[in-house]
């Protein structure tokens, strides 16, 4: 046979993965093949494969008779919107996508290249886990990947797309990456499966309820984005990368063709209700400040009392963190603190400025919160903001009470610019509670205690439930009208473009984990 023809034959054979029958089974489950996923993810004709002919070297348990070119993972590089990315896509049609020594080595190879060349790495996970027949070497392969995930953290963006099973030790690689996208109904993640759970704890639970996309989006917070199918998941990856730089030394790309509907400037001042005890949707405020249709919420279904996500201001990427009065009145609790801290640290690692909208009545009280560590978990958000060196601007729309005021990017923990609307209330606590404490004796001895309490509550509110005391002290830089917010924030970030801040020399800090 002509040597060129032999090469072409080998290439075509490698593209068949585990064979046509298994490919058809993959399609019947509503899943694309490993190569189809890469084709949809990357720009047309941009993929260059590495390790196409790699095969495992195992001979135990009949593996010497089950060899497939590529060994269950397709690896290589290409472009998304013209920018370099590295990708690996596990092939479930080959031995269930199980990870072998050589399978792991292929993934490590492209992760090393991604680090050396400063480009994102995307993992498309669809694997039954470690290849049991290989024993400890497959486990060591996972550890090699975990090590590289950790070294790459904060250096290059790492995205994991769960498009099938991801169980046991396999889950820790996605957990070490920046964002996880899971596909509804066809993907799941768990350390121990339903059968083990039933044996150990006697709980009856399905794979979907234990570790499906919705479970991890709503309950655990492991999953950042839900996709309806494989195609939707890959579109989300392509979109998400437009908000990120290639690496920690660069800035996110600027979009030149942005729009902003100026009619929103007339709307923003009408969003807050007259009664400060009534909720409103902070997302409406965010929408009235950022470029049209530019908000990409992260962790939308988890810890809804805080909103985080990417957006653009005049085409430039920013990270948004905002208390949500529509959920638990916008209080900070354990889940919200962890969610916010993780997002803040990502933005800081990749030079993405932070815009904070603050309306927080405090931390959520209760034995459940205290016994589960609200102190150290709340401190995570505090630590993340205090450590961040990117430009940071805070806008206080309404309540800013107690320690939560400090935590939500206050000037004293390094915020660059702090603005407040005229509706802002900046105090140790709400007027009602403060009056009860400060004027306790007067209220108790009054002829009409309830009337006296209301009188003192009003007195305290007039004194402190406004932004002017804070402005007098320079804790707030300016009190602005709601419709001035976009212009002020844009000007502020432009002023801060060349900001340089250095952290004290150290190996690393000890964040309260």
Q: If pLDDT is split at 50, 70 and 90, which confidence band does 53 have?
A: confident
Residue-averaged pLDDT of the chain: 91
The answer to whether residue 211 is catalytic is no
Distance CA 230, CA 187 (A): 10
Pairing of strands 478-479, 425-427: unpaired
Is there a contact between 300 and 221 (Cβ–Cβ < 8 Å)? no
Q: What is the pLDDT of residues 257-283, one digit of tens each?
A: 999 999 999 999 999 999 988 999 999
- Range name among 111-120, 162-171, 277-286, 290-299 with the lowest pLDDT average: 162-171
The three-state secondary structure class of 330 is helix
The answer to whether residue 169 is catalytic is yes
How much is the pLDDT for 61? 62
Active-site choice (168, 362, 378, 402): 168
Is 452's pLDDT higher than 80?
A: no
Active-site choice (154, 169, 193, 221): 169
How large a percentage of the chain has pLDDT more than 70?
92
Mean pLDDT of 45-50: 96
Distance CA 268, CA 337 (A): 27
Helix axes 449-464, 431-438, angle to 10 degrees: 120
Helix or strand run (H / E) with residue 237: helix 230-241
- Range name among 98-107, 300-309, 422-431 with the lowest pLDDT average: 422-431
Q: What is the pLDDT of residues 186-238, one digit of tens each?
A: 999 999 889 889 999 999 999 999 999 999 999 999 999 999 999 999 999 99
Residues forming a β-bridge with 49: 76
Q: If pLDDT is split at 50, 70 and 90, which confidence band does 457 have?
A: low
Is 483's pLDDT higher than 70?
A: yes
How much is the pLDDT for 506? 93
Mean pLDDT of 370-390: 97
The answer to whether residue 135 is catalytic is no
Active-site choice (118, 154, 315, 403): 403
Q: If pLDDT is split at 50, 70 and 90, which confidence band does 13 have?
A: confident
Mean pLDDT of 72-93: 95
Q: pTM score > 0.75 for this model?
A: yes
The answer to whether residue 168 is catalytic is yes
Q: What is the pLDDT of residues 89-110, one digit of tens each?
A: 999 988 788 888 899 999 999 9
Nearest residue to 159 via CA among 186, 110, 125, 113 = 125
- In which residue are the tokens 């994991």 written? 160
Active-site choice (119, 404, 434, 465): 404
Task: List, in order of start, the domains of the chain with CATH numbers.
Answer: 3-241 (3.90.226.10), 264-430+465-495 (3.90.226.10)
């Amino acid at each position: 046979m002509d040597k060129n023809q032999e090469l072409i034959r080998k290439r075509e054979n490698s593209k068949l993965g585990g064979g046509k029958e298994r490919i058809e089974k993959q399609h019947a489950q509503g899943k694309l093949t490993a190569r189809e996923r890469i084709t949809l993810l990357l720009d047309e004709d941009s993929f260059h494969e590495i390790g196409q002919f790699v095969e495992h070297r195992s001979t135990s348990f009949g593996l010497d008779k089950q060899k497939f070119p590529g060994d269950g993972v397709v690896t290589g590089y290409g472009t998304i919107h013209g920018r370099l990315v590295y990708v690996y896509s596990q092939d479930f049609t080959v031995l269930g996508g199980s990870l072998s020594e050589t399978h792991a080595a292929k993934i490590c190879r492209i992760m090393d290249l991604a680090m050396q060349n400063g480009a994102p790495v995307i993992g498309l996970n669809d694997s039954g886990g470690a290849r049991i027949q290989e024993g400890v070497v497959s486990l060591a392969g996972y550890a090699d990947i975990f090590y590289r995930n950790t070294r790459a953290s904060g250096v290059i963006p790492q995205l994991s797309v769960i498009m099938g099973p991801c169980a046991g030790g396999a889950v820790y690689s996605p957990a070490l990456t920046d964002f996880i996208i899971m596909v509804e109904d066809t993907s799941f993640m768990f350390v121990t499966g339903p059968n083990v759970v039933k044996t150990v704890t006697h709980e009856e639970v399905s794979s979907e309820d234990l570790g499906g996309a919705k479970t991890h989006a709503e309950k655990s917070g492991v999953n950042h984005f839900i996709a309806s199918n494989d195609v939707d998941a890959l579109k989300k990856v392509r979109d998400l990368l437009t908000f990120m730089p290639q690496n920690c030394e660069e800035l996110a790309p600027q979009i030149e063709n942005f729009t902003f509907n100026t009619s929103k400037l007339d709307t923003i001042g009408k969003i807050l209700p007259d009664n400060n005890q009534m909720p409103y949707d902070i997302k409406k405020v965010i929408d009235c400040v950022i470029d049209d249709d530019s908000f990409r919420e992260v962790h939308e279904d988890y810890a809804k009392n805080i909103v985080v996500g990417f957006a653009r201001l005049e085409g430039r990427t920013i990270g948004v963190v905002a208390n949500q009065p529509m959920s638990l009145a916008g209080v900070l609790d354990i889940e919200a603190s962890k969610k916010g801290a993780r997002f803040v640290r990502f933005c800081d690692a990749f030079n993405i400025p932070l815009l904070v909208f603050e309306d927080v009545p405090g931390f959520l009280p209760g034995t459940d919160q205290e016994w589960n560590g609200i102190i150290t978990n709340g401190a995570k958000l505090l630590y993340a903001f205090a450590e961040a060196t990117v430009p940071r601007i805070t806008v206080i729309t309404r309540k800013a009470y107690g320690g939560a005021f400090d935590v939500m990017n206050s000037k004293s923990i390094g915020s660059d610019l702090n603005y407040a609307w005229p509706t802002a209330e900046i105090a140790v606590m709400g007027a009602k509670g403060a009056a009860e404490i400060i004027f306790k004796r007067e209220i108790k001895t009054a002829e009409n205690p309830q009337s006296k309490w209301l009188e003192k509550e009003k007195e305290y509110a007039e004194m402190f439930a406004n932004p002017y005391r804070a402005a007098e002290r320079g804790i707030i830089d300016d009190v602005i009208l709601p419709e001035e917010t976009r212009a002020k924030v844009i000007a502020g970030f432009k002023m801060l473009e060349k900001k340089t801040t250095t952290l004290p020399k150290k190996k690393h800090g000890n964040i309260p984990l």
